[in-house]
């Protein structure tokens, strides 16, 4: 374990039912095995991140295999990089993290999310990962300690990514392409805006460079009302729409386009 204190950045070591740093800051380990390294002074709300309902919807949808091709390609790309240490930033309920752990059995793996509900469920998936409730802006790992940072449909703090990455390491980002879930959006909005799929690259520090990118797309049939409801709940669209528009999505089966891009952004 190579964790540092989120308050003073000194090394953390195992202590009774948790970890402690050189300055005496203690953090608890939950009975499910994860560590809570999100101090109250770093929270913007009492219980930040996705709530239990959103996390459970995502778990059902992903465990049903709807996005399995996305996870498989992510795992293949990560395996090709052969990192000694990797972190899944914004891991959610752990579906993609578990695939990464399978693909990288000899690497030191960490996964974090700001949502305690998400990490509580994620920690049941595999014991081969160090699960953390933590902020992506204060990741409790030392400078230049990681060769791969994974980010799946999650924001990235580029300054923090640059701090963590060893030279030659990189961020493996899975994010939406322009036509991602276009049919869903057309049912929800009168005016459907195009994604700017390269927007995330505008804030890159000088030492980070887009080394490669590739696309993946397929058609997904949403046959059951539960699948449609879960997809809606796990996207930002779910809490933006009124009941009438929501029912338009849930009423009958339809197909959506799943369209994503994988970026490999390296630290020079």
Percent residues over pLDDT 90 in the chain: 80
Place of tokens 């000694």: 84
- Binned at pLDDT 50, 70 and 90, residue 42 comes out as very low
d(CA 73, CA 64): 17
d(CA 86, CA 55): 23
pLDDT tens-place string over residues 230-240: 999 888 777 77
Topology of domain 12-267 in CATH is Rossmann fold (3.40.50)
Structure tokens at 79: 């395996």
d(CA 119, CA 133): 6
d(CA 57, CA 233): 6
d(CA 36, CA 18): 9
Q: pTM for the whole thing?
A: 0.93
Mean pLDDT of 214-224: 98
What is each CA distance from 49 to 37, 73, 188, 193, in whole angstroms? Answer: 14, 26, 24, 25
At 198 the pLDDT is 87
The full set of domain ranges for the chain reads: 12-267
pLDDT at residue 127 is higher than 60: yes
pLDDT at residue 190 is higher than 90: no
Structure tokens at 26: 């203690």
Length of the chain: 268
């Amino acid at each position: 374990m190579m964790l540092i204190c989120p308050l003073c950045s000194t090394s953390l070591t195992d202590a009774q039912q948790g970890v402690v740093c050189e300055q005496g800051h203690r953090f608890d380990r939950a009975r499910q095995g994860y560590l809570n390294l999100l101090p109250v002074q770093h929270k913007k709300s009492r219980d930040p991140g996705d709530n239990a309902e959103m996390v459970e919807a995502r778990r059902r949808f992903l465990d049903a295999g709807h996005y399995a091709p996305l996870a498989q390609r992510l795992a293949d790309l990560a395996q090709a990089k052969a990192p000694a240490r990797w972190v899944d930033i914004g891991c959610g309920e752990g579906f993609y993290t578990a695939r990464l752990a399978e693909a990288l059995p000899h690497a030191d793996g960490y996964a974090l999310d700001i949502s305690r509900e998400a990490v509580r469920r994620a920690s049941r998936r595999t014991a081969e990962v160090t699960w953390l409730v933590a902020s992506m802006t204060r990741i409790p790992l030392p400078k230049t300690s990681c060769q791969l940072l994974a980010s799946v449909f999650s924001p990235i703090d580029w300054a923090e990514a640059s701090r963590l990455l060893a030279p030659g390491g990189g961020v493996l980002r899975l994010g939406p392409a322009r036509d991602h879930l276009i049919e869903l959006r057309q049912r929800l909005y009168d005016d459907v805006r195009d994604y700017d799929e390269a927007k995330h690259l505008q804030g890159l520090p000088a030492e980070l460079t887009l080394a490669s990118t590739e696309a993946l797309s397929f058609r997904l049939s949403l046959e059951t009302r539960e699948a449609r409801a879960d997809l809606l709940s796990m996207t930002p669209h779910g809490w933006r729409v009124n009941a009438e528009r929501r029912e338009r999505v849930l009423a009958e089966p339809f197909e959506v386009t799943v369209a994503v891009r994988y970026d490999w952004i390296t630290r020079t």
